[in-house]
């Protein structure tokens, strides 16, 4: 049988997609559905794992229907997912013991401070490439085992399984036959030794996490198992890739060589720089992570995380109500020649890279009597680009690799004003592809490689199609002055909250 498509599962934080890709790497059909967000207390964010699973299967069936094809036309399924989110479930019944604790959740912040006080920061950085923060999975697992009655004892008896969202989906797809994760997702748990490529016993002991609940760590591109016939229209399809969303975007953008970099402008933003086959450990607030593992070779990356990117545009729309639609921001920003000296620092939940200041808070600085809504809208868009500039500078200093161009994806990239301002600030070309669903495309590429649907990296690189290239138009001296003002504004917003 000649398979026509590869299907990507893209399990995001607020919505879940299924996308069919053809041999040319183009999107044939796409289905997306939001699912409920749960906020039990301030700072807590949860999902019902069954909502994630049921929504994913629903959109998978929808996308086949839209394409007018059957499951037998699908060569493989690749999974990409929101990272760091934790699910713990019963191996026998498949029932979660608690809601998924989402990457945004801050309930374990105090535990993280305790781990720092115990002197674990250097070990965590050298072993996992991460910093100690509630963002990552390890402390969330401990919280579930400590707070769900009987769960620790059941975990120690091997009755429970832990996984990030990729593991949860693959376990369900294969009807429990495969309890696996890949190197990229494992590297975000704060439990995985990225040098030796194995779970770190010291960190498991420090957090009291039984090894018995952990998934097997496999490469990002291989057949983990097949869909159970009861799951997807009676057909057994190879489940052949798992990759964290940001690493998936790096692969989907064909950033296969050391020095290539992509930026994803989503709710938050993520820059990932491919550093090749050796990890580069940061001294400037970047995270060292695994880019992917393929055919026995693991490649590494530096990542700069930004908590608030396109979410600041939603804030303009939903909270300030000064735009009707996110698309209105580009028009408004172009109605004024500059921000009239205004800077917006969108530190609504603190600042991530390179500052890692959980006590920073959002600020609008430089207001005068002449400030109007268009200045604030423009300053908000510019704040996204400034945060990217913060991270690029640190990445270049850490790696010694100059960034020559930046490939972009994510929901805010259609905003031409933002893309042009980004090119003006960085002084390097900003490349926007025709397919901006890069995470899903990366998962599809990895699954297709594992099953022979695509032959090699060269064939995938040929699938990259450029929509628009943005070059610097601004005088470099002006760009430097604007960025200096941003750094001054950030200094005003830092360490604001009482602690």
Q: How far apart are CA 343 and CA 379, in angstroms?
A: 5
As annotated, the binding site for ATP includes 13-14, 267, 314, 411
**In degrees rounded to 5, what are phi and psi of residue 298?**
-105, 130
As annotated, the binding site for sn-glycerol 3-phosphate includes 13, 83-84, 135, 245
Q: Which of 454, 452, 414, 458 is closest to 433 using CA atoms?
A: 414
Residues 6+ apart with CB under 8 A from 444: 6, 7, 8, 19, 21, 25, 78, 241, 252
Q: Which of 231, 217, 222 is closest to 176 using CA atoms?
A: 231
As annotated, the binding site includes 13-14, 17, 83-84, 135, 245-246, 267, 314, 411, 415
Q: How far apart are CA 39 and CA 59, in angstroms?
A: 25
- What is the sign of the dihedral through the CA atoms of 329, 334, 339 and 345? positive
> Which of helix, strand or coil describes residue 338?
coil
Rg (CA), the chain: 22
* Token representation of residue 132: 């100690």
Q: How far apart are CA 178 and CA 158, in angstroms?
A: 15
**In degrees rounded to 5, what are phi and psi of residue 472?**
-60, 135
Residue 356, classified by CB atoms within 10 Å of its CB into exposed (0-12), middle (13-18) or buried (19+), is: middle
The secondary structure of the chain in percent helix, strand, coil, rounded to multiples of 5, reads 35, 25, 40
Element housing 491 (H / E): helix 476-493
Element housing 46 (H / E): strand 46-47
Residue 116, classified by CB atoms within 10 Å of its CB into exposed (0-12), middle (13-18) or buried (19+), is: middle
Q: Which of 156, 168, 216, 165 is closest to 192 using CA atoms?
A: 216
* Token representation of residue 180: 């696996």
As annotated, the binding site for ADP includes 13, 17, 267, 411, 415
As annotated, the binding site for glycerol includes 83-84, 135, 245-246
- What is the sign of the dihedral through the CA atoms of 475, 476, 481 and 487? positive
Q: How far apart are CA 271 and CA 391, in angstroms?
A: 7
């Amino acid at each position: 049988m000649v398979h026509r498509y590869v299907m990507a599962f893209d399990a995001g934080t607020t919505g879940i997609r299924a996308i069919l890709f053809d041999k040319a790497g183009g999107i044939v059909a796409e289905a997306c559905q939001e699912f409920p967000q749960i906020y039990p207390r301030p700072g807590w964010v949860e999902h019902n794992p069954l909502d994630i699973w049921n929504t994913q299967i629903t959109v998978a069936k929808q996308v086949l229907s839209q394409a007018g094809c059957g499951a037998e036309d699908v060569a493989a399924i690749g999974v990409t997912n929101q990272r760091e989110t934790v699910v713990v479930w019963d191996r026998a019944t498949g029932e979660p013991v608690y809601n998924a604790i989402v990457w945004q959740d801050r309930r374990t912040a105090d535990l993280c401070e305790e781990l720092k006080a115990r002197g674990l920061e250097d070990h965590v950085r050298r072993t996992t490439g991460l910093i100690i923060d509630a963002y990552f999975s390890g402390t969330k697992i401990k919280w579930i085992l400590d707070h769900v009655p009987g769960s620790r004892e059941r975990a120690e008896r091997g009755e429970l399984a832990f996984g990030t969202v990729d593991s949860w989906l693959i376990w369900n797809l294969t009807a429990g036959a495969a309890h696996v994760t890949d190197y990229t997702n494992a590297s975000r748990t704060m439990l995985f030794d990225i040098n030796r490529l194995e779970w770190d016993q010291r960190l498991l002991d420090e957090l009291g996490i039984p090894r018995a609940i952990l998934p097997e760590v496999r490469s990002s591109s291989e057949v983990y198992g097949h869909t159970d016939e009861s799951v997807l229209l009676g057909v057994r399809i190879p489940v052949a890739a798992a990759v964290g969303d940001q690493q998936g975007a790096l692969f989907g953008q064909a950033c296969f060589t050391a020095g290539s970099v992509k930026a994803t402008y989503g709710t938050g933003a993520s820059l990932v720089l491919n550093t090749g086959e050796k990890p580069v450990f940061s001294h400037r607030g970047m995270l060292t992570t695994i880019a992917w593992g393929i055919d026995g070779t693991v490649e590494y990356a530096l990542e700069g995380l930004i908590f608030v990117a396109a979410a600041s545009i939603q804030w303009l729309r939903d909270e300030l109500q000064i735009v009707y639609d996110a698309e209105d921001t580009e028009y408004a920003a172009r109605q004024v020649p500059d921000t009239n000296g205004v800077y917006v620092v969108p530190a609504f939940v603190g600042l991530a890279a390179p500052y890692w200041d959980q006590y920073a808070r959002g600020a609008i600085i430089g207001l005068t009597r002449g400030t109007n809504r268009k200045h604030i809208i423009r300053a908000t868009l510019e704040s996204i680009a400034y945060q990217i500039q913060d991270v690029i500078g640190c990445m270049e200093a850490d790696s010694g690799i100059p960034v020559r161009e930046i490939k972009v994806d994510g929901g805010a990239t259609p905003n031409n004003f933002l893309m042009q301002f980004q090119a003006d600030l960085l002084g390097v070309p900003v490349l926007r592809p025709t397919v901006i669903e890069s995470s899903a495309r990366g998962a599809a590429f990895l699954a297709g490689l594992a099953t022979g649907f695509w032959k090699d990296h060269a064939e995938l690189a040929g699938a990259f199609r450029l929509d628009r290239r943005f070059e610097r138009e601004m005088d470099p001296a002006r760009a430097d002055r604007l960025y200096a003002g941003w750094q001054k504004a950030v200094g005003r917003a830092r360490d604001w909250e009482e602690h």
